Amino acid sequence: MALNHLFLIFLGGGMGASARFALSTWINNQNQSPNTFSFPWAIFSCNLIGCLLIGLLYGWLKSHHPEWIHPLFITGLFGGFTTFSSFALDTQILLQNHAYLLAASYAIGSIVLGLLLCFIGFTLTS
């Protein structure tokens, strides 16, 4: 991997994480619910917006784009905004290539095992 790609990922990732923080803070400020266990609208919104944006950009740039676009925007910006968008894109690419069993295994496995590992990690440290 070229050093300039790492810099572009770093730059895009910083912008994406900052955008996620700004949007989720704004959403949380709009939803002043006194209930601590309310639906997490902020990250839910970031995940869905990130999925839409990564799909739009990937579809638009799929065939012809400069080499620097993917590391800056796909991996960096949207990866920093939400890794869920990268998960969604990987699943979309598997579906697009008619690898339905792999797509289902990847999607279900990521969600179920991710939740399980989060629970195990939490249990081990608390």
Which residues contribute to the annotated binding site? Answer: 79, 82
**Through-space distance between the first and last CA atoms of the chain, rounded to whole angstroms:** 39
CB within 8 Å of 15: residues ≥ 6 apart: 76, 77, 80
SS3 39: coil
Q: Which residues are part of a known binding site for Na(+)?
A: 79, 82
Q: What is the CA radius of gyration of the chain?
A: 17
